[in-house]
Structure formats: structure tokens, C-alpha cells
Amino acid sequence: MSSLTSEQLDHFETFGFLAVDEVFDPAEVIDPVMDEYAGVLDTLAGELHAQGVISDTYDDLPFAERVCKVYVESQKVHAQYFDFSLPQKGITADTPFWAGPAVFNALTNPSLLDTVESFIGPEIYSNPVQHVRVKVPESIAPRDADGNVIYGATPFHQDSGVINASADDTDMLTVWFPLMDTDAENGCLQVIPGSHRGEVLTHCSSVQGLAIPSSILPGEDIARAVPLPAGGCLFLHRKTIHGALPNLSERIRWSFDLRYHPPGQPTGREAFPGFIARSRQDPDAVLSDAARWRRMWLDARAALADQPDPEYNRWSLDDEACA
């Protein structure tokens, strides 16, 4: 898909989200990512086996079954090992992350950027607030001491609410897409239509991260699940309230969560590296080198290692809404 229709853009303007079933070719974007992550999982399984954490590397299994075996036997979620961003706290010189060429090619896929251009124009910056999420079925997922799924359903939040206030006026677009068909059973996203017209609401700490407390959450009764096929994308306004349903299936749920905005606007997480993904005004400024992108993250990790954690949470635990 190269551009969106006026009807699609009107839908986004009215409801704060737009689901598009065919944005890019899964064989071109997703298959290489899956192949790359199979190698990442192979390394992880080898390390855990060498440490005696798991009894087998399960190298005869496909990715989905293998990652479930690794998570279940280790009783740990290894999300950071796969992520193409750094954590917000406790960065060390060897904090794991993955910034491979297939991931970079997905972030800069021309068909994806063509569609992003329909929302924010031809000057496109890839924001560093980005994640890959591999969620195993909740029936087998590792749990904390209180019995809570460690990496389960994502509570309702706004993307503007989980970054610094410096980016409140940034024309930030969230792009969420699954690497395999996703539905309500295995934990697709759900959105509250029209919620982008309100303010950035108070967010409080929860088991699954920052969340809008139920006492001030508007429109939960009209939340809409948004299933998507592989190759499709869900586009979200920065203030649209959304979350993810629990994975109640026997399948994994595997997704990318990306953000884009015009260059020069605050990212809301300035300690992490973003880059210009497209520019007609200055084509030479576009980053096209996946190895250089990886080096940018390595440099950020080195700069942040064992330093005081930057402040990413604007909210106070003492807010009355969090009581």
C-alpha cells in the first residue's frame, strides 16, 4: 500500500485509530525477521543450557514452540534479549538487546513508510520508543510470587502517557503490527474509539507497567478489539487509549510496536537513539545502514551503563488517582 484514502484518514481523525489489513508483504518483511529471531533464540537457548537453567536447547522445534519451552523451563521471560530497545532502568555494559538488519529493514520498509507518510508527511523520524513483544500463552506463562503473569495482558494506557512530557506536542504516530495473524483469543490490541480527543490522563504503576487507573478511565465499555493478519498494521494517535488482551490461546502472540514523527520534534526518550527514516528535504540525512543503527544502540548502552537511570516516568506514585 502506498497511500491511504480520504475515508481512511477521516476514520483515524474521528476515532484515533486505523486498522489496515495489507500494508506490506509478509514474505518481504516478516519472514526475514522470523529467520533472524530464530538465531537469537538459538543463542539464548544455548546460553541457558550451558548455565544449567534448561535441560535441552530444543533446537529441533520451530520458534513458537521453542520459545514456549525455554520460558516454561526457565520460568523467566527473556523479553529484553529480543528487544530492539534498551530498558528504562538498570542498564549495564552487557544488557542484552537485538538490533539486527532484518529488524532495521522492517522499520524502514518503503511500503510501511509510504503509509506513515499519509499521516505525518514525507519527513519521517524513527522514534526510539519501540519494542518487539513475544507473549506465550497465559496458561503456561511464567508468573511472579503473587501468581501474576509476568508478561501478560497490557493495561489501558496512552502512548503519550508512557514517555516524557517533553513529547506531548510531538506529532507521534504509533504503528503496531503482528508477525502472525492476531485475534482476540491470542491477545490482539483493543482501543477505546475517540479517546484521543481527551487529555493525557494520569498513569499509575501496575503489574504490567503504567496504566490508567479504572477510576478515571473513560469508555472502557466501548473498547473494541482489533484483530489483524500478518502484513497488516494498526495506526494509533499518541493519545488514543489502548491495551492488549490476554493471550488465552495455545499460540504465541508476536508483534512489533513502532513510532514515527517528523524530524526535530522531541522523542520523549532522548537518551535513546532515533534516526531519519525518510526525507525529501535532505535525502543524505536518511539512515540506510543497519550496522550503523546497531552501533548507535551499542553507543547508547555504553553511555548509560552503570549511570543513574534517566527519568522516564512523569507520574507520581502519590497521585490521588493511584491510591
Residue 10 near residue 18 (C-beta atoms within 8 A): no
pLDDT at 117: 97
Distance CA 286, CA 311 (A): 29
> How does the average pLDDT of the chain come out, rounded?
95
- Residue 3 clears pLDDT 90, i.e. is over it: no
- Whether 103 maps to a domain, the answer reads yes
pLDDT at 2: 64
- Whether 216 maps to a domain, the answer reads yes
- Whether 72 maps to a domain, the answer reads no
pLDDT at 105: 98
How many structural domains does the chain have? 1
- How much is the average pLDDT of 174-184? 97
- Whether 35 maps to a domain, the answer reads no
- Residue 310 clears pLDDT 90, i.e. is over it: no
State pLDDT tens for residues 192-206.
999 999 999 999 988
State pLDDT tens for residues 87-104.
999 999 999 999 999 999
For residue 201, give its domain range.
6-25+79-322
pLDDT at 28: 97
- Whether 287 maps to a domain, the answer reads yes
- Whether 289 maps to a domain, the answer reads yes
Please report, for residues 7, 8, 11, 140, 193, the alpha-carbon distance to residue 16 in angstroms, rounded to integers and kept in the order given.
13, 11, 7, 34, 6
- Whether 68 maps to a domain, the answer reads no
Q: What is the CATH number of the domain that holds 200?
A: 2.60.120.620
- Residue 166 clears pLDDT 90, i.e. is over it: yes
State pLDDT tens for residues 233-243.
999 999 999 99
- How much is the average pLDDT of 130-145? 95
Distance CA 235, CA 147 (A): 33
- Whether 280 maps to a domain, the answer reads yes
